[in-house]
Amino acid sequence: CSSEAGKKYVITKISHEAYETMAYESSRGAPPFGYRNEFRAIPDQVAFRPQRITPKPYVRGVQTATVVGPSGEEIYTDEFGRIKAQFHWDREGSKDENSSCWMRVSQIHAGKGFGGIDIPRIGEEVIVSFLEGDPDRPIITGRVYHAENMPPYGLPDKKVISGIKSKTYKGDGYNEYVMDDSPGNELIREHGQFDKDSTIEHDLREHVLNNRSRDVSVDETVTVGKNQSLTVGVNRTIQVGANHSETIAANMTINVGANLVENVAVNYAETVGAAMALTVGGVMTQTIGGAFVMAVGGAVSATVGGTQTTTVQADRKEQVKGKVVESVKGDVTQKIDGKHTEKVKGKYTVKGDASLLLQAADEIVLKTGASSITLKKSGEIKIKGNNITVEATTSLKEKALTIKSEASTSNTVKGTMVTVDAATINNVKGALVKIN
């Protein structure tokens, strides 16, 4: 057709046919001879490939090879986890990334976005299989140790040990998971060269049928989103080398079935923002080696069901800025080995519903201003004042060996009946003496 005119083609196959007619056939009118051909052609833009005639080689069995890669590299792979390897019979290979095509690696589990992964490293010996015997479809199906790459645990002595041990990339560290099946010493051991990160989407349960120990060389942080419960069957010991701090946003309850002992080597401070209640069912003892200071912003109430004893080895000082009210249903006894001084700025009242006794071994002195009454143990009573008035509504009786009344100004004795009886002398002296 006209659309094909001018195009170039490449003839890929041509066949020729020539013939010559016999004499008896030519008498029938057939051409004496003839020629014809057939050919196949493709446009010259199409790459030509000759037909495959030689059968493709077939690889029987498996082979081993050494993992290779670029110089200075330890792990060489692509996005599919494939590696490159050089076969032992390859004397022309350069033992680098150009020694083979990419070879897929069989893994323990391979899914879409999940599974296991362990990339063979440069220098390891791997087992190479060929899918359907095709040399162009190699696949790594295993790995083997050899004289230069020995197992991580000395064999045959440690034949009871199973596990996985990796190696730090371009380093000497390692991560490890070991199972030791030695009879009576079975052990599972983990080793992480740096960090360990575990995430459990739901519950985590651990059951330890004997002892458990944990050693943290630096810091430890535990964060619990909601509740935490700790149950200890027997004893619990906590030892803190430096400071201990607890912060509780709401309530705190401590129940001790037996005794509670607190030992503080230096200072002890308690701060209660609101009310504080202390209930002691039995005896309570407080021993303070130094000073005791109590500051109460409001009221203080103490109720003692039995006896209360307070012993102060040195001085005791009480300062009350308001009133003091003491109510005692029984007796009150005070024993003072030294002096007893009471100083009252206002009115001082002592009242007894029955009797009032003031008793001293030497003397008793009642004094106000220039007036005084002195009672001595010898029996002498001395009344002194500028004006002394003795008044009795019924009778007044004075009796002594010697009676002496002396007033610098006036001395008044008044009563319905006044009796003055002196066995020896009755001396009445004064600027004005009035007897009526």
Each domain of the chain, given as residue ranges in start order, spans 2-43, 55-150, 152-196, 386-436
- Mean pLDDT (10-residue bins), the chain, 436 residues: 74 91 62 86 90 89 97 97 97 95 96 95 98 96 96 96 96 97 96 96 95 94 94 93 91 90 86 84 78 74 75 78 81 82 85 84 88 88 83 77 67 70 65 62
- How much is the pLDDT for 370? 87
The token duo for 356 is 């009032």
Cα torsion through 309, 315, 320, 324, rounded to 10: 40
Global pTM reads 0.57
- How much is the pLDDT for 7? 87
Measured distance CA(148)–CA(124) in Å, rounded: 9
The token duo for 210 is 């004997």
- How much is the pLDDT for 202? 96
Helices (H), 248-404: none
SS3 132: helix
How far is CA 188 from its chain centroid? Answer: 28
Superfamily name with CATH number, domain 55-150 = Gp5 N-terminal domain (2.40.50.230)
| Of residues 375, 395, 377, 374, the one with CA closest to residue 385 | 374
- How much is the pLDDT for 10? 92
What is the helix (H) or strand (E) element at residue 389, kind and residue range?
strand 387-407
Q: What is the DSSP letter of 249?
A: S
Under a CB-based contact definition with an 8 Å cutoff, are residues 54 and 31 in contact?
Answer: no
Under a CB-based contact definition with an 8 Å cutoff, are residues 123 and 66 in contact?
Answer: yes
Measured distance CA(379)–CA(362) in Å, rounded: 10
The token duo for 159 is 């034949």
SS3 430: strand
- How much is the pLDDT for 32? 73
